Amino acid sequence: MSCSSNNDNNPVAPLPNPNPQPCTLGTPTISSNSPVTAGNYIQLQTPFVSTMAEYHWTGPNGFVSSEQNPSVVASTASAGMYSLVVNEGSCASPTGSTTIIVTTPTAPCNPTNNTATNSVFPTMTFNSVLHSINQDQYEINANGSNGDLTIVFANANLPTAGVYEVCPNCPTSFMNPNQVCISIVTGGTFSYYYRASAGSVYVSYVGGKISATYCSVAFTGPDGGANFTSSAKVTASN
């Protein structure tokens, strides 16, 4: 009888690598634009590692991202600690973290609640201010005997506190998350319909109720005429 070596049917298991490559990933460096005003974007950044690197971000309000440099709309809910782990093959870095501060903006004017003052016609007083979901968009509807005001947000989500910009192409279903459409319908014998064309809306919460304020926002009629400015503050009762 002769002895034979292992053949292809009985391969020899490879020996463990006696000198495995050490994991050399350090704690990720994170930079940001904190503090951020609510309604703007939080910008998170970390240096490029390699084409094989994977980035795993987590943060407040269920935030997760696999982008190297992600961004998220700033709100009171998105303030807090953001963490990052970088993976490269089987190597994982220690966890890096940074704290994001979100500030709540204050409107530069202070109109009487549930009124709108306009440069070309009398002050509008609203006796009913309600929020609703209409065609997958969140709305604030203010109604009064001498006119109505409607503020429409980009989607049906509860708006966060912050600054929203008037969408210049209203009506549209393609608004950015930080844009709104505003319309005014005057009351009286003749009703006229106007849309805001430029300006900012400041959203806050008073006793858990949504409140919106705008200052000297530009409005135009459907034909581009009848230009005027309006300032208003409305707080929903529901």
Instruction: Give residue 172's pLDDT band: very low, low, confident or very high (50, 70, 90).
Output: confident
- 184 lies in the same domain as 150: yes
Look at 116 and 73; give whichever has higher pLDDT: 116
pLDDT at 7: 52
Amino acid at 194: Y
Identify whether residues 96 and 130 lie together within a single domain. Answer: no
Residues 68 and 137 in one domain: no
CATH of the domain at 82: 2.60.40.10
Phi, psi angles (nearest 5°) of residue 102: -115, 125
Give 116's contacts (C-beta < 8 A, 6+ positions apart).
Answer: 123, 124, 126, 142, 147, 149, 184, 230, 231, 232, 234
Q: Are residues 223 and 162 in the same domain?
A: yes
What average pLDDT does the segment 202-230 reach? 87
Sequence-distant (≥ 6) Cβ neighbours of residue 148 within 8 angstroms? 126, 141, 142, 184, 185, 187
Q: Is the pLDDT of residue 89 over 80?
A: yes
Same domain, 120 and 91: no
Does some domain include residue 41? yes
Q: How many domains does the chain have?
A: 2
Q: What's the confidence (pLDDT) of residue 1? A: 47
Asked if pLDDT for residue 224 goes beyond 80, the answer is no
Q: Cβ neighbours of residue 108 under 8 Å, at least 6 residues apart? A: 215
Has residue 15 been placed in a domain? no
The number of beta carbons lying within 10 Å of the beta carbon of residue 220 is 15
pLDDT at 214 over 70: yes
Can you tell me the mean pLDDT for 134-156?
A: 93
**Residue 3, in any domain of the structure:** no
Claim: this prediction has a pTM higher than 0.75: no
The CA–CA distances, whole Å, from 49 to 68, 83, 89, 112, 190 equal: 9, 16, 12, 54, 65
Give residue 208's Cα distance to chain centre: 19
pLDDT category of residue 14 using cuts at 50, 70 and 90: low
In a domain, 196, yes or no: yes
Report the chain's mean pLDDT, rounded to a whole number: 88
Domain check: are 95 and 203 in the same one? Answer: no
**Residue 187 domain-assigned?**
yes
Please say whether the beta carbons of 183 and 149 come within 8 A: yes
At residue 19, does pLDDT exceed 80? no
- CA dist 107 and 201 (Å) reads 8
Domain's final residue, options 50, 82, 103? 103
pLDDT at 196: 94
Identify the band that residue 100 occupies on the pLDDT scale cut at 50, 70 and 90. Answer: very high
In a domain? residue 24: no
Q: Are both 121 and 200 inside the same structural domain? A: yes
8, part of any domain = no
Reduced to 3 states, what is the DSSP secondary structure of residue 76?
A: helix
Name the least confident of 18-32, 46-60, 202-216: 18-32
Same domain for 230 and 139? Answer: yes
- At 223 the pLDDT is 63
Is a pLDDT exceeding 60 seen at residue 174? Answer: yes
Asked if pLDDT for residue 227 goes beyond 80, the answer is: yes
Q: Are residues 98 and 120 located together in one domain of the fold?
A: no
Binning pLDDT at 50, 70 and 90, where does residue 219 land? very high
**Boundaries of domain holding 95:** 31-103
187 CB-side CA count, 13 A: 14
pLDDT of residue 150: 97
Which helix or strand (DSSP H or E) is residue 228 part of?
strand 228-235
DSSP state of 18: S
Assess whether pLDDT exceeds 80 at residue 110.
Answer: yes
Do strands 31-32 and 41-45 pair parallel, antiparallel, or not at all (unpaired)?
antiparallel
Q: Is residue 119 domain-shared with residue 223, that is, in the same domain?
A: yes
**Based on the domain organization, do 120 and 199 belong to the same domain?**
yes
Cα–Cα distance for residue pair 97/103, rounded to 1 Å: 20
Residues 150 and 197 in one domain: yes
